[in-house]
Amino acid sequence: MEFGAGTGKLAAGLLNALATLDAAFETYSIVELSGELRERQRETIEAQAPALANRVRWLDALPEHFEGVVVGNEVLDAMPVRLFVRADHGADAVAHDSRESAPALIGHTINGHTLNDHGTHGAAWYERGVTVAADGRFTFADRPLASPADAALLAGIDADGGYVAETHEAALAFTRTVCSMLTRGAAFFIDYGFPRHEYYHAQRAQGTLMCHYRHRAHGDPFLYPGLTDITAHVEFTGIAEAGVEAGADLLGYTSQARFLMNAGITDALAEIDPQDIEHFLPAANAVQKLLSEAEMGELFKVIAFSRGISETLTAFSRGDRSHTL
C-alpha cells in the first residue's frame, strides 16, 4: 500500500522490482483522493509496468486492517503543521487581535506548565495563526498559547526572540493511524527531516516551512493560495514515538544513503555494463543523487515500523540511528 503516489513512477518501479525478485504479492493499493492523479498514476503504471497493472487498485480511505508493506515517500512533509514564534512582549510580531490579550496570560499555568513565560529576556511563545488583513490578503496573526502540551514542548527549546518552530500533529496522527491499521507487516516512511534535538536547534531559528511554485522555492505561504506546495521538514523523534504508542515496533531509522547501500543499490548498479553508456550513465547519475550528502543521501531519512514479525532488515544492518531519536 502506497500513500502519496504522485505520478505513479515509484509504484511502477516497485512493481517491476517485485517481479524481478519473484516476490509474491496479491495487490498493490494506492490511497489517492485526486481523480486527476489517479489517472496519471494509471497511465504511468500501464506504460512502465504493464504486466502487473491489473494488480493495482485505488482506495478512497484506509482499510480497518492491513497485512503487508506500507510505503510513504515524501508524505509526512506535506501534512499541515502549526507554527509558533518566540517574540518580545508587545513586538510587532503579535498581530492586532492577539496583542491586547497576550499580557493577561503572561505567567499563567495549566497543570504546572507555564503558557507564556517572558522570563528575564522579555520574550514569550505565541502560536502563529492566520487572519485576513484590511486589504483582503492573508497575513499572520500571533496569539497566546492555549495548550499545556504546546507549552511543555516549546519550553524545551533554547531560543531567543524571533525563533520560529513547527509542530506536526497531523503527521503524528497519521503515523498512529497507519501503525494501528497494520496487523502484520512493515511500514516505511521516506522523507527529509531531523531528530528532535536537531530539529529544534537554536541555530534553526526560522523553522523549516518552505513553499514551492512551478519548481521554484520561496518562503511566502500566502503567495498563490491553492497553487503553492507548502512543506515542512519532519521531526522524526515524534514520528517514532507515535508509531510505538500505536503498538508498533520501531524497525529502524537511518539516512537514505545508508538504507539504500545496505539494501544493495551499488550492487544493482554494478550489474549494468559501464560500456553501455546509454543505460549506465543515467543509472549512475540517479544513484549519485540518491546517495550523495550534497543531494538527497543525508537530508532524506528512512524510518520503519513493524508489527507481527520478528525479522530484522538488512537495510538497517549498518548505520541505524534509532538511538539518536
Q: Is residue 135 part of a domain?
A: yes
Cell of 12: 511502477
CB atoms within 10 A of CB 131: 14
In a domain, 113, yes or no: yes
Average pLDDT over residues 61-72: 96
HEC string of 225-239 equals CCCCEEECCEEHHHH
Q: What is the pLDDT of residue 72?
A: 97
Burial class (CB in 10 A: 0-12, 13-18, 19+), 80: exposed
pLDDT of 114 > 70? The answer is no
Residue 105's pLDDT is 35
Is 222 a member of any domain? yes
Would residue 143 count as lying in a domain?
Answer: yes
| 163 and 188 part of one domain | no
Residues 135 and 215 in one domain: no
Domain membership of residue 161 as a residue range:
82-167
Whole-angstrom distance, CA of residue 109 vs CA of residue 277: 66
Residue 314 DSSP class: G
Single residue among 112, 132, 167 that ends a domain in this structure = 167
| Residues 131 and 197 both lie in one domain | no
Alpha-carbon distance of 235 to 195, in angstroms, equals 6
| % of the chain at pLDDT higher than 70 | 90
> Do residues 67 and 184 touch, judged by C-beta distance below 8 A?
yes
Same domain, 213 and 304: yes
Nearest to 222 by CA among 139, 312, 128, 102: 139
> Which of 167, 190, 218 is the last residue before a domain boundary?
167
- Structural domains of the chain, count: 2
Q: Which residues contact 130 (CB under 8 A, 6 or more apart)?
A: 138, 139, 140, 141
pLDDT value of position 37? 95
Picking from 143, 140, 56, 40, the residue whose alpha carbon sits closest to that of residue 97 is: 143
Q: Is residue 47 part of a domain?
A: no
Q: What percent of the chain has pLDDT over 90?
A: 78
Q: Are residues 253 and 197 in the same domain?
A: yes
Does residue 147 form part of some domain? yes
State the pLDDT at residue 285. 96
Q: Count CA within 13 A, CB hemisphere, residue 312.
A: 9
User: What pTM value is reported for the model?
Assistant: 0.88
| Poorest-pLDDT segment among 14-28, 90-104, 234-248 | 90-104
In a shared domain, residues 215 and 290: yes
Give the mean model confidence (pLDDT) for residues 21-44: 95
Inform me whether the pLDDT recorded for 9 exceeds 60.
yes
Domain shared by 68 and 212, yes or no: yes
Q: What is the pLDDT of residue 88?
A: 77
| 179/311 same-domain check | yes
Kindly list the distances between the CA atom of residue 223 and the CA atoms of 80, 137, 146, in Å, as whole numbers in the listed order: 17, 10, 29
pLDDT at 68 over 80: yes
Give 117: exposed, middle or buried? Use CB within 10 Å, 0-12, 13-18, 19+: middle
CATH code of the domain in which 241 resides: 3.40.50.12710
Residues 155 and 270 in one domain: no
SS3 21: coil
Query: End of a domain among 125, 140, 167?
Result: 167
pLDDT band at 208 (very low <50, low <70, confident <90, very high): very high
DSSP state of 4: -
- Give CA torsion, residues 171, 16, 250, 72, to 10 deg: 0
pLDDT digits 0-9 by tens, 249-284: 999 999 999 999 999 999 999 999 999 999 999 999
Residue 4: predicted pLDDT: 83
H/E stretch holding 154 reads helix 148-155
Would residue 37 count as lying in a domain? no
pLDDT at 27: 96
In a domain? residue 111: yes
185/305 same-domain check: yes
Question: Looking at residue 122, what is its pLDDT?
Answer: 63
Same domain as 207, residue 160: no
Quick one: average pLDDT of 170-177?
98
**What confidence tier does 291 reach under pLDDT thresholds 50, 70, 90?**
very high
- Between CA 69 and CA 315 the distance in angstroms is 15
Pair 277, 150 in one domain: no
Tally Cβ neighbours within 10 Å of residue 310: 6
